[in-house]
Amino acid sequence: MERDAETAPTPPKHVAIIMDGNGRWAEARGQPRTVGHREGANAVRRTVEASREVGIAYLTLFGFSSENWKRPKTEISDLMGLLVRYLRSEIADIHKHNVRFRVVGDRSAFSREIIGLIDEGESLTRDNNGLNLTVALNYGGRADITLAARRAAEEVAKGQLDPDDITEERFAGWLSTAGIPDPDLIIRTSGEQRISNFLLWQSAYSEFVFLDTLWPDFSKDDLVGAVTEFGRRERRYGASRG
């Protein structure tokens, strides 16, 4: 039985989730991986709703990494079709609930249809001030840092910036997540314990919770449990224990 929102602990401001386990969920049931991805999309819907209910301000979901293009073409085609259906069916609903939607990552590799739907969703929800939902699509943390470094180098080359003026705060402004606070808590499902090139700069002082739950089974109870575990942690940001 799921906990009531009123009994949930005070949540971190920003929760990021590496959604893992769709394929294994399907294979364990003798189903094609496509079915797992479809159920994973349902888990996204539940998680957005649960995040609103427990008071999370920023939710970032790792939807498709820059390395995922190495998967079989048929699986990628299924994933792109699922992404189109999600963007068409969910944006209006999250807009109704005052959710702001945005995408980080290199969207140039996607079809014109997907890019158009992303642009429409971001434009429609831009002024919403409820949950901030960010979806990382064709995203890689190293690429994000590399692009930021290139932008800094371009400004230096043009004489618009002194190298000594490049601070951590200024550098963060060149990242794709500029304006979004760093994640306090990163959750990874499926039992794997690695970051997979996700928010490398931004996660410098994040707390991590690794769950055995496969992503299609992820529930509000799992989210609240991770938030509860986060609440037990002592965050020192590099300082020694008092």
The number of C-alpha atoms within 13 Å of 163 and in the hemisphere containing its C-beta is 4
Alpha carbon distance 138, 218 (integer Å): 23
Q: Would you put residue 111 in left (φ > 0), alpha (ψ -120 to 50) or beta?
A: beta
Tell me the per-residue pLDDT of 214-231, one tens digit each, with 9 for 90 and over.
Answer: 999 999 999 999 999 999
* The Cα angle at residue 31 between residues 221 and 18, in degrees rounded to 5: 40
Asked if pLDDT for residue 74 goes beyond 70, the answer is yes
Place of tokens 């991770």: 226
Tell me the per-residue pLDDT of 116-167, one tens digit each, with 9 for 90 and over.
Answer: 999 999 999 999 999 999 999 999 999 999 999 999 999 999 999 999 999 9
The pLDDT value given to residue 68 = 84
pTM, to two decimals: 0.92
Report phi then psi at 24, rounded to 5: -65, -35
Alpha carbon distance 156, 171 (integer Å): 13
Asked if pLDDT for residue 195 goes beyond 80, the answer is yes
Pair 157, 215: CB distance under 8 Å: no
The pLDDT value given to residue 230 = 96
Q: Which domains does the chain have, with CATH numbers?
A: 10-141+182-230 (3.40.1180.10)
The pLDDT value given to residue 6 = 46
The pLDDT value given to residue 65 = 87
Average pLDDT of 28-37? 94
SS3 assignment, position 191? coil
Instruction: Supply the residues annotated as catalytic.
Output: 20, 68
Alpha carbon distance 117, 83 (integer Å): 10
The pLDDT value given to residue 5 = 43
Asked if pLDDT for residue 171 goes beyond 50, the answer is yes
